Structure formats: structure tokens, C-alpha cells
Amino acid sequence: MGEKEFDSQIQELESEIERITDQLDAQNDYENVKKELDILRNYEFKEEMDHEKTQTVEELLLLKNKRLQKKAAETNALLSDKTNELTQQSETIERLQDEVSLKATLVAELETGQWPHRC
């Protein structure tokens, strides 16, 4: 075997070592991401994970999304009810203010003797 063949083989082996090193680094990143994901799961979805250990993150996110949508719908319904109640109370207040104004006018007319229908 000649020197060129050795150099070529060494270069191929160095390239292979570099490729394998890059692959290991990528796998190390994968392991770090996996650990971070497990931490996130434990923090964000602890309640759900206690009930079902085999759910994927996607399933947990869907479950949480459904719960949030349900809560939003309940909150919107409550807001609608309160808005209707406020509208009714505002109408009642307006009607009562009109009655008070009318009665105050009648009392003032009676006190000054300007009531049109004298007895």
C-alpha cells in the first residue's frame, strides 16, 4: 500500500469520525430536548398525566385546548347573561327615574296650586 492510499484511508476515516461525532451531537440534542419535554409535561400537564401516563404531548395539548374552549364558552354564556341582566336593570332604572321625575313634577304642581284639575 502506498502513501497516497494511506492518506486517502486516513482522510476517509477522519470524515467518518466527524460524521459519527456530528450524529452523536445530534442525538445528544435529541436527549436534551426529550428531557426538556418531559419537564414541560410534568409541569404543564401534571394533572392530566396523573390520570393517563401514556398520552402524547399532542393528546395532552388537545385535552387542555378542549378544556379551555369549554371554559371560554361557559364564560361567554355568563357574560351574555350578565349583559342581558344589566340591560334589564338599566331599563328599570330609566323607567323608575321617569316615574320619580313625573311624581316630583306632580308634587310641585300640587304644592303651588297649579294642578289643572281643582276640586
* Span 10-66, pLDDT tens digits: 899 899 999 988 888 877 777 778 888 877 777 776 665 555 556 777 888 888 889
Specify whether 12 is located in the same domain as 57: no
Specify whether 33 is located in the same domain as 59: no
* Span 55-112, pLDDT tens digits: 777 888 888 889 999 999 999 999 999 999 999 999 999 999 999 999 999 999 888 8
Question: Containing domain of residue 38, as a range?
Answer: 1-44
Specify whether 39 is located in the same domain as 63: no
pTM for this predicted structure: 0.45
Q: C-alpha angle 63/35/38, rounded to 5°?
A: 20
Task: Kindly give the interhelix angle for 3-44 and 57-112, rounded to the nearest 10 degrees.
Answer: 40
DSSP letters, the chain, are --HHHHHHHHHHHHHHHHHHHHHHHHHHHHHHHHHHHHHHHHHHSHHHHHH-TT--HHHHHHHHHHHHHHHHHHHHHHHHHHHHHHHHHHHHHHHHHHHHHHHHHHHHHHHHT--SS--
- Residue 59 C-alpha cell reads as 393528546
Total domains in the fold of the chain? 2
User: Phi and psi of 55, rounded to 5°?
Assistant: -75, 145
